[in-house]
Homo-oligomer: A and B are copies of this chain.
């Protein structure tokens, strides 16, 4: 990874400094706060505007991410633009146009494939033998897949509540799994206590943000037209922070007119970022996390402060919704649009409805809803929602 053609480095806001890539492994080595990628907007613009030959998806962005184009990324073909119009939802949600970014169509079924592709590429470049991370499940599976591809070991700490398919596929990819009794915070604590010298690729990794930025490049790099608002389900804030960094660079390079308003949606049972946004304060640990939507039950977000910055800087906002509203929104969207919207994606859909009702998103606005997850791991809780309707 170098700064010749795409990234300037990683920004620590607390220390007011930009770190060279080689000086970064995870958080700021000085203060321990999360750092965020800073793109060279002109170089990035050249890359996203270029005609592509064989490279597709995120692979074509390798130079903009600081990788040698010849060597490229450790690749499973992540990324691309999988956006589906959902006209049948617009009236119901109270806006003019709704589109869904179906990120579950990534190689291991989630948007984190973008992130792990980049983080594992850095690990491989630095001759790591093992990558390590805490995860609610989908990142563990993705890490195991990319580690397998790069001939590295992976060790993931997941809570016992992680869906079977995520645990099973982590093992099937040859990944090692430490299943910790309890919830995500228990798995994260076990990870923190672990004595290992593996290369960290957890949610605090700035390389994961760099990977998340490719969603912005895929969505808006070529056609430039952007919606009025984008609603993302948010756990750690990694995706939101990286996505915003990508959007800022596209704006600076003139590829998009302005950064759309970014909204974070969280389950009401664990909404530390939404609460901090509403109170105008810092992100504080959520004491009693309680949501059936496991990927979003994150009481202590790794990149919360940078996620808050993205919401404020884009003129967006934050919204919390009940599990029940999220599940109902997901089930209704599956039936009305055919798109396989996960429960996690349902949080963003229900959030959109709430934001439109509040008037934060205008009735004539166009909205892009990001669903980061394939539905398979959550098909049980969606089916249960039907049961509650007597079906």
Contacts and interface: CB of A to CB of B under 8 A. Distances in A.
A84 B73 CA distance: 13
A386 interface: yes
Is chain A's binding surface mostly helix, strand, loop or mixed? helix
B107 A338 contact: yes
B173 A335 contact: yes
Contacts of A164: 379-380
A199 interface: no
A105 interface: yes
Interface string A334-356: 11111110000000000000000
Contacts of A323: none
Contacts of A278: none
A345 to B, nearest CB: 13
A171 interface: yes
Interface string A102-134: 100111110000000000000000000000000
A155 to B, nearest CB: 15
Interface in A250-303: none
B383 A149 contact: no
Given A80-B80, A149-B338, A383 B173 contact: no
Nearest to A74: B338
Interface in A360-382: 374-377, 379-380, 382
Nearest to A145: B338
Interface size class of A (residues with CB under 8 A): 35 or more
Contacts of A168: 379-380, 382-383
B379 A169 contact: yes
A69 interface: no
A148 B107 contact: no
A340 B77 contact: no
A55 interface: no
A375 B169 contact: yes
A174 interface: yes
A70 interface: no
A194 interface: no
B172 A331 contact: yes
B165 A337 contact: no
A39 interface: no
Contacts of A145: 334, 338-340
Contacts of A157: none
B84 A148 contact: no
Closest 9 CB pairs of A and B: A149-B338, A376-B376, A174-B335, A168-B383, A145-B338, A168-B379, A148-B338, A172-B334, A165-B379
